[in-house]
Amino acid sequence: MSVIRSAPHSEEAYEAYEWVSHLYFYRGQYRSLMAIMEQRWAAFPNKKERLQEQQTIGGFRGVPNQILEHAEPSRVPHGSESIFIPLSIRGNLLCRKFWFGFVEAG
């Protein structure tokens, strides 16, 4: 985060935003994810990836940070032809396909 503070419009800051956003996503910190992405989009408004990113993760807007109360094994059913599954929180579809951390819009 220090590179974001010291040189907020540098290519290094752009990459730092990328790393931080992935960490928030993998930890279920969706409010934090959207906050850091809003900062990134404001700092780099002309990046061509911006619109695609906004469409891809827009479903996480307004979703709170997730809290793990207890861990237990789980199973996720999916089709025999695909390992892609729909991702939803509280019944709201966030994206149609989710695959081990990679989100596909569509």
Q: Which of helix, strand or coil describes residue 5?
A: helix
Q: How many CB atoms lie within 10 A of CB 34?
A: 18
pLDDT of the residue at 95? 62
The whole-model pTM stands at: 0.64
Which residue ranges of the chain lie beneath pLDDT 70?
76-87, 94-106
pLDDT of the residue at 59? 86
Crossing angle between the packed helical segments 50-57 and 30-43, to the nearest 10 degrees? 160
